[in-house]
Amino acid sequence: MTDSIGKKLRIAVILGTRPEYLKLAPVVAELAKFRDSVATEMVFTGQHRELLVGLAELFELGPSRQLAVNNQRPNLPGLTSALINALDGEFWREKYDAVVVQGDTTTAFCAALTAFYHRIPVAHVEAGLRTGNLEEPFPEELNRQLIGRIARWNFVPTAAAHQNLTDERVPEVAIELTGNTIIDTLHFVRERKIPADYEAALLNEEAPELGQALQYFRASHGKSLSLLTIHRRENHGQKLDAFFGMMRDLAARHPDHHLIYPYHLNPEVKLKAFQFMSEINNIHLIPPLSYRPFLHLMGQVDFAMSDSGGLQEEFPTFGKPLLVLRDVTERPEVVAAHMGKLVGVDPHVVFPAASELIACAQSGARPSWFHFGPNPFGDGHASERIVARILLDLQRNQPI
């Protein structure tokens, strides 16, 4: 796996947000098995610098390179231009044989576009997801579609994602079904990083607010527990006001039910969460969680409500119901498998759906729409398939 004069292949793995790190860490770990013939650089753009705290220690994979992204205009155009400028300099200085990006972030799109300009082949991890609506999720739907036109390798997590790319006339040789790398990550952390007495570590150091919330829930003899995450742009504004008002009413209607919300750092979301819910005894607003305590929390709750794409992939592993707080999803597999239910954020829809799950959790019943089965997003070996294909093609210098 070296070039014609015996040099190592150089592969850049680009990441800028927490989901990218979580989903690319197992790819980097797999590439590390070939360190004698492959030099891998984790290039961190800093798009969400504060959300990456603790991940390097958890996976023992620190970013190799950190770019100085100067985003003087804190908006999407400003971020896009700043990322492209920083990545352009990186790709001029460093001669990479391939660039790996993940998902639909602004970092992933800018890295793919800049690599294309430099004629560096792009591997797109988690390719092919579509809603068909450029407004939901915004701007992620467009980002993912554009990366799909650029990528030499489209690593799709499911058969539905494969079909999406086939329908868009992406060459079959450029598509490979691998599963989703987040399942690789989830298995790694659950099996190796969460000890049996983990809640003591939460209280003492790792996530004391979560430890206190769980302790209070048990001390108050709560009968059921749920997880909430909500942050997407399309749910901001009046929708968010109405939703948080409904959550306050839900807590009043079901005083034996507790809800834990690791609030998002977006100023609007955080401010409104505290305005509507900070004085409610059975709603626990806690700071964002690092990955290990977040997985532990998913294991403790009876159900979850979320507009997060990542949680739609992870939560089926825990075999519990999920209310998807979106009108459309690019991950329809969770709904098709009857492990998640699309409810949007309309209070008239979410309130009865959540009340049903509370009643089921407290009675030990299973919701009529829910089915327990294997996670539709993968088996934990996606990274092995991805790395094998990239290295095989680079070794052969095989064109698309």
- Which of 233, 248, 338, 381 is the catalytic position? 233
pLDDT in tens, 361-393: 999 999 999 999 999 999 999 999 999 999 999
Residue 65 has a pLDDT of 86
pLDDT at residue 4 greater than cutoff 50: no
Any catalytic annotation for residue 140? yes
pLDDT at residue 398 greater than cutoff 60: no
Give the global pTM: 0.88
Percentage of the chain beyond pLDDT 90 is 79
- Which of 20, 90, 136, 140 is the catalytic position? 140
- Which of 126, 184, 199, 356 is the catalytic position? 126
pLDDT at residue 53 greater than cutoff 80: no
pLDDT at residue 346 greater than cutoff 80: yes
Residue 62 has a pLDDT of 65
Any catalytic annotation for residue 162? no
pLDDT at residue 71 greater than cutoff 80: no
Per-residue HEC secondary structure of the chain comes to: CECCCCCEEEEEEEECCHHHHHHHHHHHHHHHCCCCCEEEEEEECCCCHHHHCCHHHHHCCCCCEECCCCCCCCCHHHHHHHHHHHHHHHHHHCCCCEEEEECCCHHHHHHHHHHHHCCCCEEEECCCCCCCCCCCCCCHHHHHHHHHHHCCEEEECCHHHHHHHHHCCCCHHHEEECCCHHHHHHHHHHHHCCCCCHHHHHHHHHCHHHHHHHHHHHHCCCCEEEEEECCCHHHCCHHHHHHHHHHHHHHHHCCCEEEEEECCCCHHHHHHHHHHHCCCCCEEEECCCCHHHHHHHHHHCCEEEECCHHHHHHHHHHCCCEEECCCCCCCCHHHHCCCEEECCCCHHHHHHHHHHHHHHHHHCCCCCCCCCCCCCCCCCCHHHHHHHHHHHHHHHCCCC
Note the Cα 392 to chain centre separation in Å.
28
pLDDT at residue 95 greater than cutoff 70: yes
Residue 357 has a pLDDT of 98
Any catalytic annotation for residue 393? no
pLDDT in tens, 274-331: 999 999 999 999 999 989 999 999 999 999 999 998 899 999 999 999 999 999 999 9
Any catalytic annotation for residue 90? no
Higher-confidence residue of 121 and 75: namely: 121
User: What are the structural domains, with CATH classification, of the chain?
Assistant: 9-180+379-396 (3.40.50.2000), 204-363 (3.40.50.2000)
- Which of 41, 90, 104, 184 is the catalytic position? 104
pLDDT in tens, 131-182: 999 998 889 999 999 999 999 999 999 999 999 999 999 999 999 999 999 9
Residue 51 has a pLDDT of 55
- Which of 231, 254, 257, 292 is the catalytic position? 231
- Which of 264, 338, 385, 389 is the catalytic position? 264
Residue 397 has a pLDDT of 78
pLDDT level of residue 58 (50, 70, 90 thresholds): confident
Residue 355 has a pLDDT of 98
Residue 130 has a pLDDT of 96
pLDDT at residue 40 greater than cutoff 50: yes
pLDDT level of residue 57 (50, 70, 90 thresholds): confident
Residue 50 has a pLDDT of 62
Average pLDDT of the chain to the nearest whole number:
92
pLDDT level of residue 5 (50, 70, 90 thresholds): low
pLDDT level of residue 2 (50, 70, 90 thresholds): low
pLDDT level of residue 399 (50, 70, 90 thresholds): low
Residue 215 has a pLDDT of 96
pLDDT at residue 60 greater than cutoff 70: yes
Residue 35 has a pLDDT of 93
